[in-house]
């Protein structure tokens, strides 16, 4: 479990409601992280280790 400020939880819940399938908070966080990692991979930024 990760502690987050109320404002961040509210923002996550708002983003969840915008999705077609209403993902759980953990699932939405996974999706956000996957998009972030894919973006780093696409830009080939230093410090990114493939296979993470």
In this predicted structure, the answer to whether residue 51 has a pLDDT above a threshold of 80 is no
Whether 38 is in a domain gets the answer yes
Whether 25 is in a domain gets the answer yes
Whether 51 is in a domain gets the answer no
Domain count within the chain: 1
The number of residues in the chain equals 52
Q: How far is CA 37 from CA 25, 45, 47, in A?
A: 18, 10, 11
> pTM of the entire structure?
0.72
Element spanning 40, H or E: helix 25-43
Domain that holds residue 28: 6-43
The token pair that represents 46 in the structure block: 């230093």
Q: Give the model confidence (pLDDT) of 16-41 as tens digits.
A: 999 999 999 999 999 999 999 998 77
Whether 36 is in a domain gets the answer yes
Whether 52 is in a domain gets the answer no
């Amino acid at each position: 479990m990760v502690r987050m400020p109320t404002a961040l939880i509210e923002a996550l819940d708002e983003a969840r409601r915008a999705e077609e399938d209403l993902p759980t908070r953990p699932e939405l966080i996974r999706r956000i992280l996957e998009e972030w990692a894919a973006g780093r991979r696409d830009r080939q930024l230093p410090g990114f280790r493939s296979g993470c």
